[in-house]
Amino acid sequence: LYFSAQGGILFLYHIKDLQYEKKICTDILQPISSLIFSPDYTELLLITDQGKIFAYKPTHSGEAVKLLDTCSSCFLAADFLTPGDKYCVSVTASGEIQVWFLEDGTYVSKLNLSTEVHAT
């Protein structure tokens, strides 16, 4: 079970039977608003509402790597663009949908919905 706490720390609770172990995986030093696994569960996106997306690879147990810094209006959500895990799609509160290449954070395209959006 992965979860985040205030301050940007990603935790792992390894649960087996009635025993559990809590481990700090990484700290990105800013609040995490969403956690999303890639379709093949090899990568975890850590998303902040400040427009930053970090990648964490659970099998490598290293630090999270900053992929994107959109520096745009209120950043609501992001997800992998499937099939595969090479691209990410993000949306801002102003209604801008953006597609990014995750390997190097290259901006690919955008679509403006011309309406304000909200997360529920």
Q: pLDDT class for 6, splitting at 50, 70, 90?
A: confident
Domain boundaries, the chain: 2-112
* Position 120 confidence tier, pLDDT thresholds 50, 70, 90: low
pLDDT per position as a tens digit, 70-88: 665 567 778 888 887 788 8
- Return d(Cα 53, Cα 15) in angstroms, integer: 27
Report in angstroms the alpha-carbon separations of 11 from 24, 86, 99, 103: 5, 25, 28, 24
Q: Does the structural domain 2-112 have CATH classification 2.60.40.10?
A: no
* 29/1 Cα distance (integer angstroms): 21
What average pLDDT score do residues 19-43 get?
88
- Burial of 79-116, coded b for 16+ CB within 10 Å and e otherwise, reads bbbeeebebbbbbbeeebebebebeebeeeeeeeeeee
Label residue 106 by pLDDT band (50, 70, 90). confident
